[in-house]
């Protein structure tokens, strides 16, 4: 899988080279695991295309000691990479079956710094906050969820696809002076479902 020169961060490239992406896709699609396309997984979700995953990781500028929140576990691929690049990773998924399979795969790969939670990703994990980095692997709508932004530590970064039908990667930083926001390249993600959405 060729990600350079689009991706410059050598730590991101090394992490992607060390995690077998084929373990995170459906068996019938493993011959396409390294194609630069999103692939369907269970529960009508997707595993994002490799270049987008790499770009999000690069934007997070992870340090080995960073406490990281991963919103939308999905197959667990993003969480596995975050675990190699950061410190403790907390990943939240609303679909119990997806979380179960992801946890099994990550455990089988010998990764032991990922903590799994079932719940509403829109709300994040306030009991484990603050985080130095937050990765959101689903479209948030017109703005990043305020509860997630509130869980950023000083100096922290949040990367999310922001928008409705189509989105742009958006990078938010919390500084001593407040928040900064940068709108970057266009992407397309499945929506981040709130528990409120199920009610109506």
C-alpha dist (Å) from residue 145 to 85, 103, 134, 148: 24, 25, 11, 5
H/E element, 200: none
Among 18, 48, 75, 154, the active-site one is 48
C-alpha angle 9-59-21 in degrees, rounded to nearest 5: 65
Residue 48 bears catalytic tag: yes
- Catalytically active residues are 48
């Amino acid at each position: 899988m060729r990600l350079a020169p689009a991706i410059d961060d050598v730590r991101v490239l090394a992490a992607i080279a060390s995690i077998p992406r084929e373990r995170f896709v459906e068996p019938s699609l493993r011959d396409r695991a390294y194609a630069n396309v999103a692939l369907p997984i269970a529960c009508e979700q997707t595993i994002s295309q490799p270049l987008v995953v790499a770009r999000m990781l690069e934007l997070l500028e992870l340090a080995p000691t960073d406490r990281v929140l991963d919103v939308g576990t999905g197959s667990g691929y993003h969480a596995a990479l975050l675990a190699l690049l950061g410190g403790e990773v907390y990943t939240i998924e609303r679909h119990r079956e997806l979380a179960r399979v992801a946890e099994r795969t990550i455990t089988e790969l010998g990764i032991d710094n990922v903590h799994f939670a079932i719940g509403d990703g829109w709300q994040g994990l306030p009991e484990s906050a603050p985080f130095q980095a937050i990765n959101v692997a689903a479209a948030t709508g017109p703005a990043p969820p305020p509860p997630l932004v509130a869980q950023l530590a000083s100096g922290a970064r949040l990367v999310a696809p922001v928008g409705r039908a189509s989105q742009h990667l958006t990078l938010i930083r919390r500084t001593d002076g407040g928040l900064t926001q940068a709108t970057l390249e266009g992407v397309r993600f499945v929506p981040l479902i709130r528990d409120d959405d199920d009610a109506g």
